[in-house]
A and B are shown apart, each in its own frame.
Chain A
């Protein structure tokens, strides 16, 4: 039997008895980042493929919420900072070794690109829109003409942003639950799935919904596959990793994870979407909202559980 205690007494807020330095802001930030990445990815890819006219919600409507999502996400990150007045130093330093550092820069690049994208489509929603200045009108005309040129960096940065939301966590060796390279792809796929869900909700076009529904089913299957791999990897790992996996396989996160993320957030919406493709009448909001809530809860659980896991010595 082994017993360990602080002989000197130690009860530091948010550190003891277990780490809880990142609260609700970070999961929301990661969720919105993933969602924005998903929407921009699809908007970019369909534009590059030359199918923009067939996918109006994907290319025009859904990206309209992206700048809001990104700016609100950054605001969440700001709320999480404890030394708020010094936040600007994120942008006076370039540190490639720090995921939070380069992630902040990626956001700094992709947010203006998404704004540019939305601005170029604003006249489709407000035909009387006027940019007031001539150079802005000229610039808009250029963007509208060269959307594919904008779509390429947007797609690439969307993928980087999606992966970043996972790497932000996976770079921490000290937290065994996070310290796995599959977290990057897993968060990317999950983010794309939530992006697809938003597009499905906003689309009025039956064909577009069908395409996005199919893509979403594929993404959900990949996500489930990654989750199985995540735990397989842990169970074949060190004691710290086995302990981490056990939080979800019998431990205190088992019920919320399997109920809200795996069942209600992945399997059930996938089944509903399959039914819809087969021709059954399924209110499209149901699977889409379930995917969104599942994705949000998934990030909450990962951030919370990861902080509990640690090396024992």
Chain B
């Protein structure tokens, strides 16, 4: 089992619903976020192209954050989901330094926090909150090892990229382009 997400940059309208849904679902403290929307504009007017990406922890296969954690607080759960065990985290910040995506932050209570792929919902068979609220349904969540999953289907039929693959982290969020 390998959980992954495919996000259609051509369908995303940048409404930030995913961000708000995540903050609500996960009680993210004010001023922080576990996911965010990036707008990339290339070229000069009138010849411009735009790409909208809903970004979050990439739940990498080769996670530098898990590798550098001195206490084992950052670890892999089922399906390759990268989680932080709050009671084991000493807040040293090594994982924040290690993440090329700046996907982690220091929670005001001291431990490091980040996207969990809404593991509590996934265990109940639901989609993560961001995926389930998306008004354009541009996000797909599923198991890469299941040939019938939506993610596998999208990745089969569309061109896609991942972020900073040169960092060697093997990210598991794929952007359909």
Chain A residues proximal to chain B, CB less than 8 Å:
1-16, 19, 21-22, 77, 80-84, 86-87, 89-90, 92-93, 95, 97-101, 104, 171-175, 238, 307, 310-311, 313
Contacts and interface: CB of A to CB of B under 8 A. Distances in A.
B16 A7 contact: yes
Contacts of A6: 36-39
B72 A93 contact: yes
A172 B67 CA distance: 10
Contacts of B16: 7-9
Interface residues of B, number: 50
B17 to A, nearest CB: 9
Contact of A7 (B37, B70, B98, B168): B37
A16 B55 CA distance: 15
Interface string B115-141: 000000000000000000000000000
A304 to B, nearest CB: 13
30 contacts: A1-B42, A3-B40, A3-B41, A4-B40, A5-B38, A7-B52, A8-B14, A11-B31, A15-B102, A19-B97, A21-B96, A22-B97, A81-B91, A82-B92, A82-B112, A83-B89, A89-B90, A90-B90, A97-B68, A98-B68, A100-B94, A101-B69, A101-B71, A104-B70, A172-B68, A172-B97, A173-B100, A173-B169, A175-B97, A311-B100
Contacts of B105: 12-15
Given A100-B68, A100-B70, A174 B98 contact: yes
Interface stretch (B1-9, B146-154, B159-167): B159-167
Contacts of B110: 82-84, 86
A173 B112 CA distance: 19
